[in-house]
Structure 1
Amino acid sequence: MKADCRADPGARRRGSFASLRNRNYRLFSIGQSTSVVGNWMQNIAIGWLTLELTHSGTVLGIVTGARYLPILLLGAWGGLVVDRHDTRRLLLLTQVAFAVQAALLTVLSLTGLLTLPLLIAFMLGLGFTNVFDNPARQKLIGELVSPAELTSAIALNSTFINTAKLAGPGIAGSVIATLGVAPCFALDTLSFLAVILSLLRLRTAEMFPAEREKRAQGQIRAGLAYIRRTPDLLYPMIMVYVTGVLTWEFPVSLPLLTTSVFRAGPMGYGAAMAVMSVGGVLGGLVAVRRQRLTTRSLSVSAVIWGALICAAALAPNLPVAMVLLVFVGSASITFNSSAKTLMQISAVPQMRGRVLSIWSIGWLGGTVIGGPAVGAVGAAWGARGALLVGGLAAAGAGLAVPALKLLGRASRHRSPRRGTGH
């Protein structure tokens, strides 16, 4: 199944932003974007605090990976829970849990009781909440808009998130430099109120809820089998898993690049994340206007993304690296948004929770393996080496998938002939 729109140019432009006419979608986007500002302030603060406590890229990778261990272990089950329950109510529960966790982190930081073991424990708790939050949040987008608006909604959601990320890292860098990390955690706590309020104000009568999955045996296996036999899910998922493990490790590689290579402080790290978000906004706008999504176009996106990361890894100085990171951010969101859109429109609604949870396992849970691995590469071969590993992985995945598709087609063509007995 492919997203393909061949209307007149004016209709395509209107279609690109069609989801913005939907009140529920606008409300949710505003609430989520506000929360993303606080969330990225928290992310920057945690990364900086870990480096202050340990001065170790490997430990930073372990702390980052701890957040995604529950997704790796429980992600498929979380997706099944999402398919069985009311998505909006489930999201309300996860947002309250996030707010409580952030408030606890604020108190521990202000009282000076926050240690590395407690920080890792907090990351594990955050990850457990994400087991349900990630697939529910992605699935809710499909329930807020009509099927005709889905491509627009997913791409615009990426644009809004990256616009919010422009503010988060920059504010975090300034706050950490002047007041420390605790205020970042406090502001993140408050930001969850925006999401909770937006969810409470949704008009449920105007939503497009998916049919809930009834309890039965083997439903997780059924979800995996469904992905395996659906090419427009299987091949994007392969690319997502490779890049999720080795490429999407910027919270590990960028602090190392800005601190050890270019000798920049927290403001430098915040600036690096901010310019990537600038690129992310541009990439989201490109994705909004894309009218045709195929596995081939996703492969091209992966190759371009990988090449840009390699170029940034070899940048001779910080200004050149910052310019290249704009393009890296753009390519990142173009790839990620396209992959999510292709999988959402290719999956039947009652399977979307499981499909998106499997996506979360690769894209986010892969950090459990990739975070420490990339951190170790950075410790052994430097930050440039850590970025190069990610760039080569993305480009390699983009080049390998078309070959796998050809092999799959050849195998399917040979199988009937073997069964005829001739």
Structure 2
Amino acid sequence: MNIRTFDLERIQSLYENTVPINLTESGFHPYTLEELLTPDQIKMITSTVLGYGQTNGSIPLRQIISQLYPNCNEDNILVTNGSAEANFIACHTILKPGDEVVMMVPNYMQIWGIVEEMGCTPKKFHLKEEHNWKPDLEELESKMNSKTNMIALCNPNNPTGYVLRLEEMKAIVNIAKKYDVWIYCDEVYKGADLDNVEKPSFYGMYDKVMVNGGLSKAYALPGLRLGWLVGPEKLIANTWAYHDYTSITAGILSHKIGEIVLQPEKRKEVLRRNISMLNENLKITQEWTEKHGDSLEFVPPKAGGMVFIKYKYPINSTELSDWLRLEKGVFILAGDVYGMDKHFRIGIGAEKKELIKGYEILSNALNERFNV
């Protein structure tokens, strides 16, 4: 096998649906169709002919997506099966064997595995926890050279919830321009800002930018598997060629629902619901960690659906996660999947009652094992 196992996704897939309390969800508690759509819209969905549809995305869907980005139209959009497929296609479109990719870490590590499988070399630049997860831009520039072909970002960041400031985005663009490289940014959490002020996309800041998006995270619709790529028209045409070899098309029902959800007023409604959930659950999480003194701490996220908690217990993060799952029935994601031991990730987009129940179990378990 030429590609490494994607530990984060494999671990979640194995256990998230088999534990009594799952605290690893990276998005928001998903909608049902009854909650999301009107009766007339549901009737329209149930009467839809289950054909293929346009393989690069329906024109209405691509048009409504394009309105989320500056100076963009439907020819700048490719619709994919979730943002995971978007990441795979983007890398195979932009990169060639021997290229180097400088990647923000911590990060959703799918791109790291794809880059290695392609015969490229990934290099890290860090968000610094001691500086509230601000990026080390000097480190970024130190990793650049003539072989670099991409800077890979995740903004808002998974798992820290950090959001790049505009001046940081501009500095990264200047570095990319200096070395004439692509910026690829995973923006799947765009719109899930705790302050309810949506931050700008990298798209439109530089002519060699491609970004992704999707309905799984900020929109609480992971089951639709609807994502997209946004980029220069010629590059997007090339991504469509790769899409023909991967999944061919996203599902027709996902297209139809996406056209509804991304209408301006409906989009605002969905994001408001999820941001409200995020703020309420963040407060609960802060109160919970404070009960554990200096054993648990985290930098509050600015966006996204999770917190990345640092702990001081004398135990490896995978061992801690396995023990809690097997012995206590509660599942947290080990920091090891991000290459960061002594941390764990908790999804705070869960239902409030489930989160409170999970924290009660965690507290009892930690007090039992570590006498705190």
TM-score, normalised to structure 1's length?
0.27
Q: Which structure shows the bigger proportion of residues in helix conformation?
A: 1
Q: Which structure shows the bigger proportion of residues in strand conformation?
A: 2
TM-score, normalised to structure 2's length?
0.29
